[in-house]
Structure 1
Amino acid sequence: MNEATLPPPRKHGRLVVRLLLLAVGFFAFGFALVPLYDTFCEAVGFNGKTLRDATQAKDLPPSAVDYSRKLGVQFTSTLMPGLPWEIRPLEPAIELHPGELRTTRFLVRNLSDQTIVGQAVPSVSPTVAARSFQKLDCFCFTQQTLAPGESREMALTFVVDSGISKDISELTLAYAFFPAPPKP
């Protein structure tokens, strides 16, 4: 084939610009997914996200205690890879009346020879119970820094709303603990 039979070179400038804009759009969408997902989970109580926490609880009327029934609440914890801690609830399970204010504690110990920062992420199951679980004070609100070999009791103060469905007699609060970068 000689040069006379080849088609003239095409200009792809517009195509390149469109592809770059598409790539930027996908990148921005990826960053927006995390807050959108969190908002969705909080709105519907999905993935164990509780609808009420300390910032919202102060605006709510106190929940009347329902002495006519009891709920079982179990506490569990999971460590993610890279976090050399030992974590366990001091009370693995409790019974309470809906609307009753309760405080429980978790024991955390840094098993390494380095200062480590961790973050707890809560999850409530069954998922529909997350709408009624109000954390008033929780170690999961902030990152936790433990020195080498340090042990600490971390408190959780909560209320299970008295309006929780009568079909729910037991719920589980699970914490996943992740390594977190130290604060600047």
Structure 2
Amino acid sequence: MSNDVSSPQEAQSDRAFNRSMLVKLVVVAGLMFGFGFALVPMYRAICSITGINNLVQRDATAREAKNTQVDASRTISIEFDANARGPLQFKPEQSSLDVHPGEVMTVMYQVTNEQGRTVQAQAIPSYAPKEATEYFKKIECFCFTQQTLAANETKRMPVVFVVDPKLPKDVKTITLSYTFFELAAPKSVAKGGGGA
């Protein structure tokens, strides 16, 4: 004779197992949510420690740069590049510049908002070769802050920099490239429009 009906002990054991599994799943879901929530501060802390993606911190102060010894025996070619995303025209006013390590230099960039509305934008720098990143010190840069451009406004923006004399001798050219992009494009320029 087969026993298809489970005993009260088995039913109670199943309920205990189900409760235990539910508690475990809730704990795992809570931990996953907490980890996702903690990713942003963890990312910022890692970037701060490693110096990666650090947009708002100056690489050197003007005083530190002026105290740097100029190495007149070396010349480094700095190439300037610009890319824009969204309704912006963006370019350096000169494509390259020869500098001596330790020499404080200024280059100008120009950005134009081609829209009939105000645009909030941010520039992100990158360097080539990658090992030059820690030796290219920006003292003043439009990339340190968000930029607000009025409708059809053009701005000239400086980058004041110095190349650290400790730059490896085999690096003869550094490319400084900026990507300028709109931070939050409006969902719709005009609302409504239809209805009589």
TM class by smaller structure: 0.7 to 0.9
Is 1:53 matched up with 2:54? Answer: no
The corresponding residue for 1:22 is: 31
The alignment's TM-score, normalised by the length of structure 1, stands at 0.82
The corresponding residue for 2:114 is: 111
Deviation by residue 1:125-154 (Cα, 9 ceiling, x = unmatched): 212111111111111111111111111111
Asked whether the 8 Å contact 2:58–2:144 carries over to 1, the reply is no
Is 1:154 matched up with 2:163? Answer: no
The corresponding residue for 2:73 is: 68
Q: Which runs of 4+ in 1 moved over 2 A?
A: 2-10, 56-61
Asked whether the 8 Å contact 2:88–2:181 carries over to 1, the reply is no
**Structure 2: where are the runs of 5+ without partners?**
186-196
Distance 1:41-1:74 versus aligned 2 partners, 3 A rule = farther
Q: Which has the higher contact order (CA 8 A, sep 6+)?
A: 1
Post-superposition offset of 1:3: 7.7
Distance 1:65-1:88 versus aligned 2 partners, 3 A rule = same
1:79 corresponds to which of 56, 80, 84: 84
- List aligned pairs for 1:132-147, cutoff 5 A: 132-147=135-150
Distance 1:78-1:34 versus aligned 2 partners, 3 A rule = farther
Q: Distance in 2 between matches of 1:36 and 1:127?
A: 22
1:100 corresponds to which of 98, 103, 110: 103
Q: How many residue pairs get matched?
A: 173
**Structure 1: where are the runs of 5+ without partners?**
none
The alignment's TM-score, normalised by the length of structure 2, stands at 0.77
1:32 corresponds to which of 21, 33, 41: 41
